[in-house]
Amino acid sequence: MRGLTAGMNVDTQHNAVVPPIYLSTNYGFDGLEGRPPIDYSRGGNPTRNQLGEALATLEGGAGGTITSSGMSAITLLVEALVPIGGHVIAPHDCYGGTWRLLDTWAGTGRLTVDWVDETDLSALGAALTTCEDGPVHTDLVWIETPSNPLLRITDIATVSRLAHAQGAAVVADNTFCSPLLQRPLEFGADFVTASDTKFINGHSDVIGGSVVSATAEGAEKIKYLANVIGVTASPFDSWLTLRGLRTLDARLRVHAENTGRIVEMLTGHPAVTAVHWPGLPDHPGHRLAQKQQDGPGSLLSFELDGGIDAVRRFLDGLRGFTLAESLGGVESLVCHPFTMTHAAMSERAKADAGVTESMIRMSVGIEPAEDLLACLHEALERAGGIS
């Protein structure tokens, strides 16, 4: 938990409890030989560095780089780890933006990508190629666990072992858990990335991302390239995110309490045909989640009886939950992955990933549970009314 208070009570000038924000873009040299440790804010900034150190501490890594968005963190990692024409294995049900980035680059010849159900280890083994198999060997295995929107759980330790045996690097997208619920580096991943837009900032007012590296060499490489490409975050966004991080532990405890109660209602309701949440004993990834996570998290999806018409009735007049993309903020959200977060995926890709028209994804917020339950009850009665 040390990382949650990173940067507090360290100001020597005024004894400020909360760290000041450094907006300056440049820093003076002390003569020709006197380059300051930080000279220009694209490469380094005291406020942004504090956030990087905080996240590296929480993830148990050697160093952290803070980027302007989750997508720029992903771009940075692919640039760092995949040569031109290189091979990437990514989950078939990964975040829509990751899918679009890799699909776009596959289209331009920048890289080749295989979409694999990484919960199926034999499928993963078949997709991994080594130098002996031909001119291309796998450079990068991308993990995202739990997945979106079905909350499938990928075995980070086993996938990392298989990937490393073939010489591929492993990145885990830890957006859904945050380091308080899951630390992929402990299970063998080389890098962990997150959209800090979600739980880490937690207040839905900053777009940001991060990369934490297992080794000092990895951290140095990422830091160097982030400056080269120019994807680092602004000081103000970093300061806000650091402020949000202070309450991550407290927020997660309320998220967890509310989610447990909502899942209980959903699983018992006749309008609901399926609930996908790793905390449920019948979820296929339940035991694995217990092994590698410190809690099942507050993202879930469920399916309504009656397809898209039931979804419309559920959403029409819904109170308490905003229909919006994104997740991990203090406010409760629902979204319809088929037409919203996963709309960029082809029909085929959606079918393979199990994204159906009758599915609703929920990001449970930290409002009073009784209010959320009352609003949900109302919407489910409406959804189930006509079938």
Q: Which residues are marked as active site? A: 42, 95, 173, 198
Q: Which of 71, 151, 364, 380 binds ligand PLP (CB under 6 A)?
A: 71
Nearest 5°: phi and psi at 140? -145, 130
Beta bridge partners of 111: 86
CB of 51 to ligand PLP, least distance (A): 14
Phi, psi of 213 (to 5 degrees): -105, 145
Nearer to ligand PLP, 76 or 214 (CB): 76
- Give CA separation, 372 vs 106, 136, 368, 376, in Å: 42, 51, 7, 6
CA distance 39 to 76: 22
Name the one range near ligand PLP by CB under 6 A: 16-24, 94-102, 242-250, 360-368: 94-102
Q: Measure the CA–CA gap between 254 and 366, rounded to whole angstroms.
A: 6
**List 87, 110, 183, 198, residue binding ligand PLP (CB under 6 A):** 198
Region 201-260 residues binding ligand PLP, contact defined as CB under 6 A? 207, 209
Q: Which residue's CB is nearer to ligand PLP, number 207 or number 289?
A: 207
Residue 293 binding ligand PLP, by CB under 6 A? no
**Beta carbon of residue 164, minimum distance to ligand PLP (angstroms, whole number):** 23
Stretch that binds ligand PLP, among 43-51, 92-100, 103-111, 306-314 (CB under 6 A): 92-100
Q: In the complex, what is the shortest distance from the CB of residue 335 to ligand PLP, in angstroms, rounded to a whole number?
A: 11
Look up residue 350 and give its amino acid. Answer: K
- 304: three-class secondary structure by DSSP: strand
- Dist. CA 289–CA 312, nearest whole Å: 32
Q: Which residues, listed in sequence order, are joined to residue 211 by a DSSP beta bridge?
A: 65, 193
Q: Which is nearer to ligand PLP, 140 or 310 (CB)?
A: 140
Query: Does residue number 178 form part of the binding site for ligand PLP (CB under 6 A)?
Result: no
Residue 276, Ramachandran bin (φ over 0: left; ψ between -120 and 50: alpha; else beta):
beta
Stretch that binds ligand PLP, among 93-101, 160-168, 177-185, 210-218 (CB under 6 A): 93-101
Q: In this structure, are residues 158 and 185 in contact, taking their beta carbons and an 8 Å threshold?
A: no
Using the rule CB under 6 A, is 298 a contact of ligand PLP? no
Backbone angles phi, psi at 176, to 5 degrees: -70, -25
21: its two tokens: 């924000």
CA distance 145 to 161: 16
∠ CA 57-58-59, nearest 5°, is 95
Q: Least distance from C-beta 290 to ligand PLP, angstroms?
A: 21
Region of 17-25, 44-52, 120-128, 191-199 interacting with ligand PLP (CB under 6 A): 191-199
Q: In the bound complex, what is the minimum distance in angstroms from residue 181's beta carbon to ligand PLP?
A: 14
Binding mask 137-176 for ligand PLP (x = CB under 6 A): -------x---x------------------------x-x-
CB of 318 to ligand PLP, least distance (A): 22
Q: What is the β-pairing status of strands 169-173 and 191-195? A: parallel
For residue 330, give the DSSP letter: S
Stretch binding ligand PLP (CB under 6 A), from 5-13, 65-73, 160-168, 362-370: 65-73
Residues at the site binding ligand PLP, with contacts judged by CB under 6 A:
69-71, 95, 97-98, 144, 148, 173, 175, 195, 197-198, 207, 209
